[in-house]
């Protein structure tokens, strides 16, 4: 993306620069991320944007799901309790899913 493409051209934020959070960590767990987004939120790859700073709370309200519904579904699908991830950070949840399946990432 060109530097000029990141500047908002009009509206109340005209002239402000848009900068996305990194996806380096998410990219390490891409298969888990795609499976998670499909099974928990019914999103197909390419129909969402998640970054290393994304949280499952970013998706509350979808299909009438609240936080307790999301936690329940994660427990059912992955046998993992996400309630001890205070921020709900998806990268941390993906890391835990990876560890439960394969051990520590290399």
- Transcribe 35-102 into DSSP letters: HHHHHHH---TTS----TT-BGGGGTTGGG--HHHHHHHHHHHHS--GGG-TT-BHHHHHHHHHHHHH
Tens digits of per-residue pLDDT, 6-33? 788 888 888 888 888 899 999 999 999 9
Over 60: is that where the pLDDT of 1 sits? no
Distance, C-alpha 91 to centroid of its chain: 7
Q: Of 57, 49, 50, 53, nearest to 82 (Cα)?
A: 57
- This prediction's pTM: 0.81
Looking at the DSSP bridge assignments, the partners of residue 17 are 7
Tens digits of per-residue pLDDT, 53-86? 999 989 877 678 888 899 999 999 999 999 989 8
Over 80: is that where the pLDDT of 35 sits? yes
CB atoms within 10 A of CB 42: 11
Looking at the DSSP bridge assignments, the partners of residue 89 are 55
Output phi, psi for 89, to 5 deg. -60, 125
């Amino acid at each position: 993306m060109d530097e000029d493409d990141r500047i908002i051209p009009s509206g109340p934020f005209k002239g402000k620069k848009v900068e996305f959070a990194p996806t380096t960590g998410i990219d390490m767990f891409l298969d888990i991320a795609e499976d998670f987004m499909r099974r928990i939120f019914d999103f197909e790859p390419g129909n969402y944007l998640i970054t290393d700073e994304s949280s499952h709370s970013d998706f509350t309200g979808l299909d009438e799901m609240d936080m307790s519904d999301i936690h329940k579904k994660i427990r059912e699908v992955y046998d993992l309790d996400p309630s001890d991830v205070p921020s709900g950070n998806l990268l941390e949840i993906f890391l835990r899913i990876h560890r439960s399946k394969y051990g520590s990432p290399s």
